[in-house]
Structure 1
Amino acid sequence: AVFIGHPILVDDQLYGVVALEVEGRTESALQDVVQRLGWGIGWLEALARRKTFTSKARLVTVLELIATALQHERFQAAATAVVTELATTLGCERVSIGFMKERHIFVRALSHSAAFGKKTNLIRALEAAMDEAADQLATVVYPAPAGGPFQVTRAHAELSQHHGAGAVCTIPLTAGGTVLGALVLERPVGEAFDPRTVELCEQAALLVGPVLDVKRKEDRWLAQKAADSLRMHWRHLVGPRHATLKFWVALAVLATLFLAFADGDYQITADATLEGTVQRAVTAAIPGYIAEARARAGDIVREGDTLAIMDDRDLKLERQKWVSQRAQRSGEYREALADHQRAKVRVLEAQLAQAEAQLALIDEQIARTRIRAPFDAVVVKGDLSQSLGAPVERGNVLFELAPLDTYRVIIKVDERDITHVAVGQDGYLALSSLPHEKVPLVVDKITPVSVVEEGRNYFRVEAVAKGAIEKLRPGMEGVGKIEVDQRRLIWIWTHKLLHWVRMWVWSWWP
């Protein structure tokens, strides 16, 4: 036996191989077999080339239709251009396209027609044919080809008989198993749709249909888009699938019901600062110069502790002067008294009294050069260590002191929440330096004047700190919460947003 093999090549691309087993042949007979095999291979190659050319031509046609749909920005122009080009390419008398809306397909474009009446008998017949093909989810050809599957073609028959179409082909437009619309092609009498043309139309509908559907959806009004989106989600919600969506929607509904009927503590939260109940200013009692600084801001001092010392050298010299004058006048006084000079005695007595008064005044001034704490306190403000030798005038504030046993909390309440605050309400203060300790407080005073800070208005609410306050210091900052009353949770979480919306609507309402 002799084995003969021959490849089938089309444009240097291998399509297949022919293999023969020949028995009992002479050499001349084998050459004849090889020659006949070559002729047969040539016929197969020609057939493959023709098939490849046909496939490429179909692909080019479909791509041209897609390009036509994409080059138009608006849906109506794109749909009209596509059906017109399809009618010209396939030699159809009329091509129409429709899209699904509320379980029915409505015609949206006709070939060679920029506008058409939507209530005419022709349009109704076309829509009936589209619905007929969509209900069967299959391509419907009328007249039905011999040997084809059984199909309902009543609407197609009426379209052909009453509107002059010799042959009708309707192809559903689908995407992901969902019917988007339908494409109807009509030819004159005597020109039926062959299987190749039907296949080309199906390929075109498969690719062009979703493109036009996207353009159709983009051309809708915003309200219509929202309504269609809600309708789609509702179908998903009540349909047999989308269990995850149903779970989250049910969870959201339960959460909303809980928030709508459950109560919670309504608290007003705002920035807060700690201050002493009384802040005493320590001033310079006499003019002079700073000689020594023994305390500064943040130090804890006890009653009588020295905060600073002023230079007293000039006062001591002045005192020495008056001591000398007193001694001199005292000697003169004794001499006048011994000489019985009564007039001079009276003058010297007055001068001695003046010297004593001056000495008492200077002693008091020297005592005042030592600046002392009037009570147990913490130094809130003041640092003279950088001002040694600097002059001060009488009345200049050198230190500010706050007592250690009582504090007040200044809460900056936003103007939107101030109407809910009342004297006597309880609350808590969390300080940045003591975040784990909550300091109880009671609202004591509401300042009726707002203050502008960082672009917002707030009211100054004073509260008294209670409980253990050993670790507290004036100047500490944190967050204060004032307990108002019990409110619905949904109101607590949304009242600020609702307030903003009401103000915005009112500001724009004519």
Structure 2
Amino acid sequence: MAVVVCERADRAFIEQENRLLHLAILQVTPWLAGLRRHDRGWGERLRDGMHDAAAALIAPRRTATKLVAVAVLVGLAVMLLGRWAYRIEATAILKTDHLAYLPAPFEGYIDHVRVEIGDAVHEGDALLTLDPADLYLKESEALADILHYVRAADKARAQGALADMRIAEAQGEQARARLERVRYTLAHAAVRAPFEGIVVEGERTELLGAPVRKGEILFKVARLEEGLYLELEVDERDIHEIAVGHAGDVAFLSRTDLRFPVRIERIDPMATVKPERGAVFVVRAVFTGAPASWWRPGMSRLAKIEAGPRRIPWILGHRTLDFLRLRFWW
């Protein structure tokens, strides 16, 4: 604020002179104000700037802009100072400890297949039958040999040829042993389920009529009531963040809307190299709840393991920071 004083001795100022004087003052005032602003020290400028900003903030103008500014400031404060639950992502595959491998009991051809992949089976159910025609021929041959050697022994006994009798009796015993082995194999011509479960491997259209060798795996049967667990593949960059006992959740591709709680039970001490991912650690996790009826071994998708709270900037930027550390390492 400033005051201009004008004085004249001979006569008073008229109305027109007063107006001209007022107009001149209005013209000079902005120029004088600019000179004052530029002549201030830095401390005075800082004080006046803070005063103007506070006045603009308190003034009832541009309310929406002020609310947005306050929200942005609060958001930045939360981002910089807040903590968020950090979760490690890992691919997950559903597996079971109770998986039976059912091999072919002998070499031959598949005669009949009674189940397909996904069928529920009970203990003792016949899953597949091998063609027993060759075994029946071997059984007939063994019976014929036994009868032949019995007659040969009787003939040698009647003739008093004791040595020939002993030989015929020994050959008869061999034929009986061969007959028992053939009949044992015939009893196992049908491949049966060892327990109640689900057929998880063994395509019916590929097996029917196909030749098989002894010991070749024909079916895999999994027990679903118990023994189900998750096999996780955790990247080596994250393995130090988790430990045995950490909790997490898993979602399967078939039902992505559902989450199932799990707990880490074991971490393999040695990494496995995957061509597409590099080094990963195999982690075993168990379910903390009851298994669902639609679960099947081999299902896969994504698991997230709790690693504890972390700063939000660290969560968002630690991957980039690690890359830069390795990129510019000297």
Match of 2:244 in 1: 423
Question: C-alpha separation between the residues in 1 aligned to 2:110 and 2:241?
Answer: 51
Going from structure 1 to structure 2, the CA distance change for 1:413 and 1:244 (only over 3 Å counts) comes to farther
Is contact 1:237-1:246 (8 Å) kept?
A: no
CA distance in 2, matches of 1:456, 1:235: 55
Q: Determine if contact 1:236/1:242 at 8 Å carries over to the other structure.
A: no
RMSD of aligned alpha carbons? 3.4
**Displacement of 1:409 after TM fit?**
0.5
Distance (Å, rounded) in 1 between the aligned partners of 2:150 and 2:205: 44
Give per-residue Cα distances to partners, 1:315-339, cap 9 Å, x unaligned: 1111111111111222232333344
CA offsets per residue over residues 408-462 of structure 1, 9 Å max, x none? Answer: 1022323332211112222222323344554332212223314436456543221
From 213, 217, 222, the equivalent of 1:397 is 217
Shift of 1:377: 2.6
Residue in structure 2 matched with residue 432 of structure 1 by the alignment: 253
Question: How many aligned positions are there?
Answer: 285
Change in 2 beyond 3 A, CA 1:335/1:244: same
1:469 has 2:277 as partner: no
> Which residue identity does 2:139 align to in structure 1?
R
Who is 2:185 aligned against?
A: 365
Separation in 2, partners of 1:244, 1:453: 54
Measured at CA, do residues 238 and 391 of structure 1 come closer, stay the same or move farther in structure 2, by a change above 3 Å? farther
Q: Matches of residues 84-233 of structure 1 in structure 2 within 5 Å? A: 150=24, 151-152=27-28
**Structure 1 residues 466 and 498: CA distance shift in structure 2, 3 A:** closer
CA distance in 1, matches of 2:298, 2:194: 20
Secondary structure of the corresponding residue to residue 386 of structure 1: helix
Deviation of the 1:355 alpha carbon:
0.6
Query: In 2 relative to 1, CA 500–456 (structure 1 residues): closer, same or farther, beyond 3 Å?
Result: farther
Amino acid at match of 2:75: A
Within the candidate set 303, 312, 333, 2:153 is matched to 333
* Deviations 1:160-215 (CA, angstroms, capped at 9, x unpaired): xxxxxxxxxxxxxxxxxxxxxxxxxxxxxxxxxxxxxxxxxxxxxxxxxxxxxxxx
| Rounded Cα–Cα distance in structure 1 between residues aligned with 2:142 and 2:326 | 80
The alpha carbon displacement at 1:284 in A equals: 1.9
CA separation of 1:315 and 1:250: change in aligned 2, threshold 3 A:
same
Superposed, 1:453-468 pairs within 5 Å as 454-455=276-277, 458-468=280-290
Aligned position for 1:479: 302
Alignment CA distance shift 1:277-1:336 (3 Å)? same
CA–CA distance in structure 1, aligned partners of residues 55 and 311 of structure 2: 27
- Asked if 1 retains the 8 angstrom alpha-carbon contact of 2:86 and 2:315, the reply is no
Question: Match of 2:112, SS?
Answer: strand
Provide the identity percentage. 31
Say if 1:284 and 1:407 are closer, same or farther in 2 by CA, change over 3 A.
same
Asked whether the equivalents of residues 274 and 410 of structure 1 are also in contact (C-alpha less than 8 Å), the reply is yes
In 1, the alpha carbon distance for the partners of 2:255 and 2:243 equals 27
- The alpha-carbon distance between structure 1 residues 272 and 502, as it changes in their structure 2 partners (threshold 3 A), is closer
Q: Determine the structure 1 residue equivalent to 2:92.
A: 272
Indicate how the Cα distance of structure 1 residues 498 and 235 shifts in structure 2: closer, same or farther if over 3 A, else same. farther
Which amino acid counterpart does residue 298 of structure 2 have in structure 1? G
Which secondary structure does the structure 1 equivalent of 2:271 belong to? strand
Q: Closer, same or farther in 2 for the Cα pair 1:244/1:442, shift >3 Å?
A: same
1:286 Cα deviation after fit: 1.8
Greater C-alpha radius of gyration: 1
Residue 398 (structure 1) shift: 1.5
Secondary structure of the residue aligned to 2:199 is: strand
Structure 1: where are the runs of 5+ without partners? 1-145, 156-233
Q: Separation in 2 of the partners of 1:470 and 1:498?
A: 37
Residue 303 of structure 1: how far off its partner (Å) = 2.2
Q: 1:409 to 1:424 in 2, by over 3 A?
A: same
Aligned counterpart for 1:324 among listed residues 126, 144, 160? 144
Structure 1 residue 261, shift from structure 2 partner: 5.2
Instruction: State the TM-score, normalized to the length of structure 2.
Output: 0.74
Distance 1:237 1:275, change over 3 A: farther
User: Contact (CA 8 Å) 1:450, 1:459: kept in 2 or not?
Assistant: yes
Give the Cα–Cα distance (whole angstroms) in 2 for the partners of residues 490 and 276 of structure 1. 37
SS of structure 2 residue aligned to 1:442 = strand
The equivalent of 1:406 in structure 2 is 227
Matches within 5 A, 1:225-304: 241-258=61-78, 263-304=83-124
Distance, in Å, in 2 between the alignment partners of 1:237 and 1:458 is: 59
CA distance in 1: counterparts of 2:315 and 2:214, whole angstroms: 55
Matched, 1:388 2:213: no
- Tell me how far apart the structure 2 counterparts of residues 454 and 249 of structure 1 sit (CA, whole Å): 46
Amino acid at match of 2:300: E
Q: Find out whether 1:308 has 2:128 as its counterpart.
A: yes
Alpha-carbon shift at residue 488 of structure 1 (Å): 4.2
Change beyond 3 A, Cα 1:496–1:395 = farther
| Deviation of the 1:388 alpha carbon | 2.0
The equivalent of 1:55 in structure 2 is none
For residues 136 and 148 of structure 2, the distance between their equivalents in structure 1, rounded to whole angstroms, comes to 18
SS in 1 for 2:307: strand
Q: Distance in 1 between matches of 2:220 and 2:211?
A: 19
- Provide the C-alpha distance between the structure 1 equivalents of 2:104 and 2:316, rounded to a whole number of angstroms: 51
CA distance in 1, matches of 2:327, 2:54: 39
Give the CA deviation at 1:274: 0.8
Distance 2:315 2:55 in 1: 30
Are the aligned partners of 1:336 and 1:345 in contact in 2 as well (CA < 8 Å)?
yes
Aligned residue identity for 1:460: V
